[in-house]
Amino acid sequence: MSDTIIGRFASRRDADLAIEALVQEHGIERTDVFVQSATKDNSAGVKIDGADAESGHPDVPADGAPALAGAIEVSVDVNDASAETVRSTLTKAGGELLGR
C-alpha cells in the first residue's frame, strides 16, 4: 500500500538536506519526492539559512532578500517498507511531520 508523508521545514536548506538524504542515502526515487511552499506565495522558508545567509565567498556579504513567506513542504510517496525511514529522515533534518 502506498501513502504520502509530508514534512514542513523552516528553511529551504533543511528541506534540500532532507531530500538529499532520502535520495542518496536511502534510495528513495527522486520522482517520489515533491517540494513546495506551504503557502500560496513563493518562499525560501521562514528563516534565513544556507546560501540565503552567506555568499559562499570569503569577505563577500550575501546580497539579496530571500522570500520568507512561509515554510517549505516536502512530500514523499512511500510504500509500507520505506515509511519509517522517510519519517525518521524528515525529522532528523529538522522537519515537522504533518498528518499521521
How is residue 40 annotated by DSSP? S
Give me the pLDDT at residue 55, please: 54
Q: In whole angstroms, what is the distance from residue 65 CA to residue 52 CA?
A: 8
pLDDT mean values, one per 10 residues, the chain (100 residues): 89 93 96 90 65 60 64 91 94 90
Query: Which domain range does residue 42 map to?
Result: 2-98
Which residues are registered as beta bridge partners of 98?
Answer: 6
Split into its structural domains, the chain has a count of 1
How is residue 80 annotated by DSSP? T
Contact 9, 94 (CB under 8 A): yes
Give me the pLDDT at residue 62, please: 61
Give me the pLDDT at residue 61, please: 66
pTM score, two decimals?
0.76
Give me the pLDDT at residue 41, please: 76
CATH number of the domain that residue 53 is part of: 3.30.70
Q: Quote helix, strand, coil % in the chain, to nearest 5.
A: 30, 25, 45
Residue-by-residue DSSP string for 57-73:
STT----S----SB-EE
